[in-house]
Structure 1
Amino acid sequence: MRPQVLLIFQTRFEECTAMLKGVAHFERSHQLWTGFLDDEARAERDPQWVRSKKWDGVISRHTTPALVQTCAELKLPLVDLNDTELFPGVPKIRPDNVALGHLGAEHFIERGYQHFGFAGFGNHGWSRERRDGFTEALRLAGKHCAVLDVDYPGDLTPFWDTQQIDALLGWLNRLPKPIGVMACNDMRALQVIAAAHAGGIQVPEEIAVLGANNEPIRCELSYPPLSSVSPNAFQSGYKAAEVLAELMNRQKPASLDLRIEPAGVATRPSTDVLAIDDRIVTTALSYIRQKACVGLSVDDVVKAAHASRSQLEKKFRRHLGRSPQAEIRRVQVAKIKQLLLETDYPLKKISEMAGFEHVEYMSVVFKRLTGDSPGGFRKRILLKRA
C-alpha cells in the first residue's frame, strides 16, 4: 500500500507551489506516495484535523507548536519547511539566508556600486541572517552598508504600508547616490521602490533595488520590474521529500537543520544598470528602459537626455562600453527573452510587444545578439526546466 503523506502548503503563495513541485519530482522519481494537499493549512491549527486519518508522514510549510505536538503524540514523521525557529527533534529545511545575502552584495559589487543599503525586519531571524550575509560580504570587500531595520507587525495593511513608505523615503534621502539597496524580501523591496517614486528618485539609475524570494507576480507588478534573489524553493521541496522518505524508513537524517543554497539572482530592470554618476547617461537609460519596446530611435533618446548625439555616444561608450542603439537592442532582447519564457505567445505577437515591425527582423536581431533563434531559445530553456 502506498504511504499516505499529508502536505500542508498554502498554494496562494508562489513559494509553496514551487516547493510542491520539488516534492512531486522526488515522489515521481523515487517512491510512489498518495499525497493529500491541505492547501488551507488547517492542520497547523486543528489537531483533530490531523487525527481524522491515518498518515505515514507530514511535510509542512506552516508548522506550529500545536502541529509538532500532535505529530509527536501520534509518532508521525514530520518535516518542517518554515523558516523560523527549530522544533526539537523535527528536521527543518530552509534557505541559506546568509548565502542569500552574500549573493545580493555580489550582485551590486559586480555592477560597480560604492554605496549600499539594506532594509529589513529586525524582529525576524531570517531577515537578520540575510542582512548579516549582505553586510558581511560588503565588509570583506572593504565596503560600508547603511541599515534600516523595523519590526514587521505580521500583517501588511495599507496604513502600515504608508507609514513605511514615508520612513523609507526619509532614509533614502539621506543616502549617497547612486546606491544599491537590498531588501529582506520582495514585499519590503516594493516599499523601497514606492518610497523612491514618492520622492522623485530614479530607480534604478539613482537607487537600484534588489528583493529576495523571487515571487514572480510581485516582481513583475513592480515598476520597474524587481530583481530578486531566488532561494531555490524547488530544491527545498525535493530535499524535504527525501528526508521524509528516510524518516518513514526509520532512518535518521544527517542533520536536523538543512540549509539550501540560493539558486541565484533573477535580474530585472530594478538593478539592470551600472552605477553611473552622470545625469545625462542615467536620464537616457531611464528613457530607453521605458520606451525601447514601443518604437524608439537614438534621436528620441538624444532629445530626452538634452544632449547632442556625439556627446551621448561618447558618454555611453565611456560608461557602458556600447552605443545608445546597442542599449536599445539590449533592452528589446531582454523583453523578448522574458516573453519567450513566461508566455506561450507566438513570435508575431512577441515581435510587436518588443517594438519590432517585422517578426523576421526581430529573429535576425535576436540571433545576432544571442547566437540562438527565438524558437530555439524557448525550446532549449523549456527542456532544461522539464
Structure 2
Amino acid sequence: MKTKAHRIALLFNANKSFDREVIAGIAAHLGSTRSAWDLFLEEDFRLRLAGIEDWQGDGIIADFDDPDVAAALARCDVPVVAIGGSYADESEYPQGVPYVATDNFKLVKLARDHLIDVGLHRFAMFSLPISRQNRWAQEREAAFRQMMDEDGIEVEIFRGCETSAMSWDEAVQKQIAWLRSLPKPVGIIGVTDARARQLLQACTIAGISVPEQVALIGIDNDPLVRALTRIPLSSVMQGAQEMGRTAAHLLDQILHGMRLPNTRILVPPAGINVLASSQHQPIRHPHVMRARHFIRQYACQGIKTHQVAEYVGVSRSSLETYFRQELGCSVHDVILNAKLDAAKAGLESGQRSIADVALCCGFTSTQYMHLVFKRELGCTPRAYRDRVLGEREMAASAA
C-alpha cells in the first residue's frame, strides 16, 4: 500500500547560498529515509508569506532569521521547525517551536583560532549595521567581543553602512579609512563572505597588502563570492546541510506523533576553507610584500616576472634576489603556486570543466596544467578533483 505524501513548505530564500545548503540538507534527509514529502518552495521568495497562516499542508521548515517569517508563522496551525542563528539570551528563541541553530560562537572562534595559527596577534571584525534582520550578526559580534575580552585584547568592530548604488563610494572610503587606522599586521573576520569581499576590494583600492598587512576570513564559504574576488577568500563553512538534515528529521518525528516543543539543537561549523586571503606570512622586505600582493591579484591573467618587477619599480634581477633571500624561491615559483591554488579551488567546486579551469587560472594549456599537477601534487587534475569530491561525499554520508 502506497503511503500518502506529506505536504511540506520550505520558507527560504533560494537566492542565498546558506539557504540553498539548508535545502540540500533537507533533500539529503529525504534521500536517505522512506519519508514521502511533496515540497513547496516559492521561486520568488518575496511571495512565500502570502496567506501562509491558512496553508492547508502538513508542516513547514522555515528561516526564522527573517522576523517577518517568524511573525507570520506565529499564527500557523501546522507543525513548524525553525532554522536560524543561535542566541546567548534564551528569550530570543521562539517559544513552542523546535529550533535548529548555527553555533555563532563556534563560527567566530574557528575563524579567530585560524588567524592565531598563522601568527597574528591583532584582530578586528567587519560586521553589519544593527537591524532586526541582522540579529545573527550581532550575536557574532558578541562572541568576538567575549573572546577578545577574555584574552585582554582591545575589541575592534566596524559595522560600516548598508551599501547601495548611491552610497557605494562613501561606504568604500569609510572602509579604507578604517583599514588604514588599524595597527598592522591584523587579522579581520568578516561577519559574512560578502562583507569580507568588500574589504578585500577596499584593500586593493587602498594598496593594502593581503594577507601580509591584512589577513581576511569570511563566514559562509559562498562559491559566488569566491568567484568575485581577485585574491581567493578564506572562509568558515557553516554546517548548513547538517542543519537542513536535522530540521527535516525533527519534522519527521513530529509528523509521526512526537512532541518536541522548545527543542534547541546547535550545529557546529563544518570546517574552514583556507585560501590565500588569510595565509599570513611575515614579510620584512617591502618590495617582496608589494610583489606578492600584485601576484595574488593577477597571477591568473598570465603575468610574467618582468611585469611584477615593473609594478614594484625594481629590476628583475633585484626582485629575484629579494625573493630568494625572503622566501627561498623565485618570483616564477610564487606566480605558479598562486595559479595552482586557484586551479585547485576551481576543481574543488566540481562545477567547471578541467579545460575551463586551466584557461581561467592562466595556464597556457590543459596539458601544461596537467604537468604542473603531476609535478607538484603527484596526481592529474582529474584525479585531484575526483578525490576531493569523493571525500566530500563520504563526509556528507557519514554526517
State the shift of 1:99 in Å: 0.7
Q: C-alpha deviations, 1:55-102, integer Å up to 9, x for none?
A: 22110115634333222xx2x211111337311011111211111111
* TM alignment of 1:192-203, pairs within 5 A: 192-203=199-210
Root-mean-square deviation (CA, aligned residues, Å) is 3.0
3-state SS of 1:99 partner: helix
State the shift of 1:103 in Å: 1.4
- Report which stretch shifted further, 215-224 or 128-137: 128-137
**Does the 8 Å CA contact 1:189/1:211 hold for their aligned counterparts?**
yes
**Correspondence for 2:62:** 60
Q: Kindly tell me: are residues 42 and 32 of structure 1, through their superposed partners in 2, closer, same or farther at Cα, counting changes over 3 Å?
A: same
Alpha-carbon distance between aligned partners in 1 of 2:351 and 2:74, rounded to the nearest angstrom: 46
Alpha-carbon distance between aligned partners in 2 of 1:215 and 1:344, rounded to the nearest angstrom: 14
Letter in 2 for 1:18: E
**Correspondence for 2:255:** 248
Q: C-alpha deviations, 1:162-194, integer Å up to 9, x for none?
A: 443333222222111222211212232233334
**Correspondence for 1:37:** 41
**Correspondence for 2:397:** none
State the shift of 1:323 in Å: 4.1
Say yes or no: does 1:126 pair with 2:136.
yes
State the shift of 1:279 in Å: 1.2
Letter in 2 for 1:27: L
Say yes or no: does 1:9 pair with 2:16.
no
**Does the 8 Å CA contact 2:52/2:72 hold for their aligned counterparts?**
no
Alpha-carbon distance between aligned partners in 2 of 1:93 and 1:273, rounded to the nearest angstrom: 35
**Correspondence for 2:297:** 290
The percentage of aligned residue pairs carrying the same residue is 28
State the shift of 1:144 in Å: 4.4
* TM alignment of 1:170-185, pairs within 5 A: 170-185=177-192
Alpha-carbon distance between aligned partners in 1 of 2:149 and 2:284, rounded to the nearest angstrom: 23
3-state SS of 1:81 partner: strand
**Correspondence for 1:239:** 246
Letter in 1 for 2:174: A
Paired positions, count:
378
**Does the 8 Å CA contact 2:96/2:262 hold for their aligned counterparts?**
no
- Report which stretch shifted further, 126-135 or 306-315: 306-315
Where do 5+ consecutive residues of structure 1 fail to align?
none
**Does the 8 Å CA contact 1:59/1:240 hold for their aligned counterparts?**
yes
Letter in 1 for 2:347: L
Alpha-carbon distance between aligned partners in 1 of 2:326 and 2:261, rounded to the nearest angstrom: 50
- Report which stretch shifted further, 341-350 or 356-365: 341-350
Q: C-alpha deviations, 1:2-22, integer Å up to 9, x for none?
A: 222111112111221111110
3-state SS of 1:82 partner: strand
**Correspondence for 2:312:** 305
* TM alignment of 1:74-153, pairs within 5 A: 74=77, 76-83=78-85, 85-121=92-128, 123=130, 124-137=134-147, 143-149=153-159
Alpha-carbon distance between aligned partners in 2 of 1:308 and 1:140, rounded to the nearest angstrom: 48
Instruction: Please give the TM-score of this superposition, normalised by the length of structure 2.
Output: 0.82
* TM alignment of 1:19-34, pairs within 5 A: 19-30=22-33, 31-34=35-38
Q: Kindly tell me: are residues 368 and 66 of structure 1, through their superposed partners in 2, closer, same or farther at Cα, counting changes over 3 Å?
A: same
Where do 5+ consecutive residues of structure 2 fail to align?
87-91, 394-399
State the shift of 1:141 in Å: 6.1
Alpha-carbon distance between aligned partners in 1 of 2:256 and 2:61, rounded to the nearest angstrom: 15
Alpha-carbon distance between aligned partners in 1 of 2:356 and 2:84, rounded to the nearest angstrom: 41
